[in-house]
Structure 1
């Protein structure tokens, strides 16, 4: 909760005076698909709950900061190489842990995201290009959650579980 909720809250509150003076008044909260979907093998219960709280935080901040014309938006990443989902081998290369790799295969794109694929949406929301977006959520998950339970009832390959 400290890193996913309190951190963004207090950081945003601390930057409000600067945001009020800025030409581009934008806050981007990083959520997770774990906030809206059960990601048991990849993340913990507390992680999912804290990311769900981060989403609600973004909604509350968007409402509270709208009189100041400060926009608050959220990105929902799916599986990306991170400290949670991956490890670094002896060559210094980052690779997905087995549960994260299997989760990535369950998305329609059947792979994990790459750095530039999360940077693009963040730049959109933080720039004038996203100037008409407020309290929006952008899902960057390879299509995994485009329809709730889209893989329900479909037999997925055994190696994805």
Structure 2
């Protein structure tokens, strides 16, 4: 049998993913607020010259007005960001289980021995190679590569 590759417990990559996600959310919120203030102020005919970040800070502290157009833009951008986030999350997690994440540390499908069609045919050469009954019992498919895994007829045990 081939050896499994060990890459660690996976905890650090999970923590890093959470941190990167939180940083991405924070940046998206800041960009949404900045774009909303600037776009709403432009639509309302207010002065947007100078540093836009400073203008946003002044709008948040009450030194500059926050027009209703900015609120409408912020709501539309928030709904759009939420919809995109949900679509990406659904697409990336569809059909995934805890085993899928652990598959990176499992043996590569090409290195598995004794579980393929050729092994059954080597042990019992009198069977016709194209006959599916000669391949053994289908146990399932590998997570990586979706290759069939067969239990040869010599390994089958019938309980008493």
TM-score bin (small chain): under 0.3
TM-score where L is the length of structure 2: 0.22
Higher helix share: 2
Q: If you compute each CA radius of gyration, which structure gives the higher value, 1 or 2?
A: 2
